[in-house]
Structure 1
Amino acid sequence: MQVDFYHLTQVPLERALPQIAEKVLATGGRLMIVAGDAAQRAKLDQLLWAYAPESFLPHGQAGSEDDARQPALIAATPEAANGARHIALVDGIWRDEALRFDRVFHFFDEARIGEARAAWKGLADREGVERNYWKQNDAGRWEKAA
């Protein structure tokens, strides 16, 4: 399984997440988007409908009878009611339950860098876990740093 740490330094989550979600959905994959805060989940719900004038990402918020049908599902916990094998942890908080997925996108900013480092170190000796650390350059492009 693969864990990608995304250090947000130039481009905010609101621009980075739709790019990742588009790539996952384009391959036919499903995505769980996890944020503990209800206000952040509501904001992400609106973002994914209108992040670009020519596009939207089909998704829903967890808790409805249609959860299983959603290509992307926004939730407070990493329970894949939509059968997702990809998960985006978007609030900067690492959750070990994410290791049940095939691929983890862990987004964090400067406020959560200490926690991200602890998660990175904690995964170092985990069998079957491939870690990648992505950092934005001055132009906002992702560069693999580790």
Structure 2
Amino acid sequence: MQVDFYHLTQVPLERALPQIAEKILASGGRLVIVADDAAQRARLDQLLWSYSPESFLPHGQAGGEDDSDQPVLIAATTDAANGARNVALVDGIWRDEALGFDRAFHFFDETRIADARAAWKGLADRDSVTRNYWKQNDAGRWEKAA
């Protein structure tokens, strides 16, 4: 299983998350996006419909009748009712349940850097986990730092 830590320094989550989601969908995968806060989930719901004038990301919020049909599901927990094998933790909070996926994307900003460091260290001794640390350069492009 692969865990990608995304340190948001130049580009906000609202620009980074749709790019990741598009790549997952383009490869035929599914994604569950996890945020504890209901207001953040509502903002993400609107974002995925309107982030680009040319396109949108088909998605839904967990708890609906068609959760299993959603390519992208926004949820409060890591329960992937849509069968996703990819999880995006977008509120800066690491959840060990993410280790049950094929790939986890852990987004965090400066307010959650201590928590991200603790998660990074906590995963160091797990043989089945490959960790990557992605950092934004001054131009906002992602560079693999570890």
- Please give the TM-score of this superposition, normalised by the length of structure 2: 1.00
AA aligned to 2:60 is: G
Quote the residue 1:4 is aligned against.
Answer: 4
Distance 2:27 2:142 in 1: 20
Quote the residue 1:46 is aligned against.
Answer: 46
Distance 1:26 1:84 in 2: 14
Quote the residue 1:26 is aligned against.
Answer: 26
Counting aligned pairs with the same residue, the percent is 84
Distance 1:33 1:56 in 2: 16
Any idea what the Cα deviations from partners look like across 1:112-146, whole Å, max 9, x if unmatched?
Answer: 00000000000000121000000000000000000
Give, in angstroms, the shift of residue 65 of structure 1: 1.0
Any idea what the Cα deviations from partners look like across 1:11-32, whole Å, max 9, x if unmatched?
Answer: 0000000000000000110000
Q: For 1:19, what is the secondary structure of its paired residue?
A: helix
AA aligned to 2:53 is: P
Quote the residue 2:63 is aligned against.
Answer: 63
Any idea what the Cα deviations from partners look like across 1:27-61, whole Å, max 9, x if unmatched?
Answer: 11000000000000000000000000000000000
Quote the residue 1:84 is aligned against.
Answer: 84
- State yes or no: 1:35 paired with 2:30: no
Quote the residue 1:133 is aligned against.
Answer: 133
Q: How many residues align?
A: 146
Distance 1:65 1:82 in 2: 11
Cα RMSD between the aligned structures? 0.3
Quote the residue 1:113 is aligned against.
Answer: 113
AA aligned to 1:74 is: I
Q: Structure 2 unaligned runs (5+)?
A: none
Q: For 1:56, what is the secondary structure of its paired residue?
A: coil
